[in-house]
Amino acid sequence: MVRKSVRSGKRRLVKTPGGRFYFKKIVSKPNYHHCATCSRKLPGMPRGTTVEIRRLPVSKRSPNRPYGGQLCSPCLKRKLITASRTS
């Protein structure tokens, strides 16, 4: 019987050097991060699984600025301008 961890998701049949076959789970990468307002791809955000991102240093996980990782730079600029006008 196939292991429970392999049952769901994509898998590939792999032949070992000993001549046996087994199923290898194919882990797909998640999509790119997107801006919360305009849905544009966010530059500077790593694309990887949660484990891969946790292994990165903190300085490379997301941009070090306000709304870093949520808004792209044009939307952030627009938001800061409107916030400065109201206050």
Q: Are 29 and 47 in contact (CB under 8 A)?
A: yes
Instruction: Give me the pLDDT at residue 28, please.
Output: 81
Tens-place pLDDT, residues 41-79: 998 899 988 899 999 999 899 888 899 899 999 999 999
Mean pLDDT of 4-25: 86
Count Cβ neighbours within 10 Å for each residue of 15-37 and write b for 16 or more, e otherwise. eeeeeeeeeeeeeeeeeebebee
Question: Does the reported pTM lie above 0.95?
Answer: no
Q: How far is Cα 42 from Cα 35, in angstroms, rounded to an integer?
A: 6
| The two structure tokens encoding residue 77 | 């600029």
β pairing state of 21-25 and 11-15: antiparallel
